[in-house]
Structure 1
């Protein structure tokens, strides 16, 4: 796939051609396709940075949330990550099998469990830190600090807009942006 420049910057001619069959003004559709392609590129670099010990971005997020040493409940982790409790339970299962987290009964609620990071999980994060930093430096090569901050802002504005649309439609799915 080859990107080319026009007066508004880089674009993908194949996406423009395809979207042109769908809508007269393809700008928003092209932008959505570019966000999706960029997310995939970042995820591929992140996974490569794990050097064969890849975890999903959701699992890494949980490890980071637990790295303060404080146990957390599944529901609390789900709310913080903006995902379902079922999703967190699956991630905890994976991390527990890998020896990176442990579950313990919640003394305040017999029906609940608390999740804690293990030394293995902390070690995995330590080993992942430098490759992740290098991957992010590579993916944002040539971007100024202001470019990165603007990209962050624009992406989160997309999330806020999606959340507003979902709320109007009655969707109560969790969101990480407040």
Structure 2
């Protein structure tokens, strides 16, 4: 890492590689995207360590967490919408969780073709054992950040996600071949 003329961190290797892809005026967004990816990879590496080799992907962890806070079982469609992924993706994640005994499929009483998903007691125990090491890891990775900086970082990351969502919606609305 190095510091720029404003005293802000940047990755010299990324900056050099972005010169191949960008004009001077659009290098900033490309470098920011690369920094966001690097930060996510750092967080995910620590999350994986917190999982203690128990092999849950970020997506499976997201589904398990959503099941844990739900007052009732959820449909695959509900989970897909909540997680922002396809039903097929959620089906695979539920397969993983069910295979590990962390979630269970329940027949839908109103639609015999559909299933609902609920967290198991083993799933709740897994989350509890994951909570402490993950909390310590996240505290360590964000050491030195003020509460205001953490709020601002969260806000900026969610703006990126919201911009992508709006861009995708626009593309879907303007693509005549979209279903």
Q: Same fold (TM over 0.5)?
A: yes
1:7 to partner: Cα distance? 2.3
Compare the two structures and name the one with the higher helix fraction. 2
SS in 1 for 2:112: strand
Relative distance call for 1:10 and 1:84 in structure 2 (3 A) is same
Residue 7 of structure 1: aligned partner: 5
Q: Deviations for 1:62-90, whole angstroms, at most 9, x for unmatched residues? A: 11111135211101111111110001000
Contact 1:48–1:54, Cα closer than 8 Å, also in 2: no
Which of 147, 156, 160 aligns to 1:145? It is 147
1:161 to partner: Cα distance? 1.0
Q: Deviations for 1:10-64, whole angstroms, at most 9, x for unmatched residues? A: 0011111111223223211111100011111111010011112131111111111
Equivalent residues in 2 for 1:15-94, closer than 5 Å: 15-22=14-21, 23-25=23-25, 26-68=27-69, 70-94=72-96
**Normalising to structure 1: TM-score of the pair?**
0.91
Q: Tell me how many residue pairs correspond in the alignment.
A: 170
Which of 113, 116, 127 aligns to 1:114? It is 116
Query: What is the RMSD of the two structures over their aligned residues, measured on CA atoms?
Result: 1.4
For residues 21 and 60 of structure 1, the distance between their equivalents in structure 2, rounded to whole angstroms, comes to: 37
- Unaligned 5+ runs, structure 2: 175-179
SS in 2 for 1:54: coil
SS in 1 for 2:143: coil
For residues 108 and 145 of structure 2, the distance between their equivalents in structure 1, rounded to whole angstroms, comes to: 45
1:171 to partner: Cα distance? 6.9
Which one has more relative contact order, counting CA pairs under 8 Å at least 6 apart? Answer: 1
Range that drifts further, 25-34 or 40-49? 25-34
For residues 138 and 91 of structure 1, the distance between their equivalents in structure 2, rounded to whole angstroms, comes to: 29
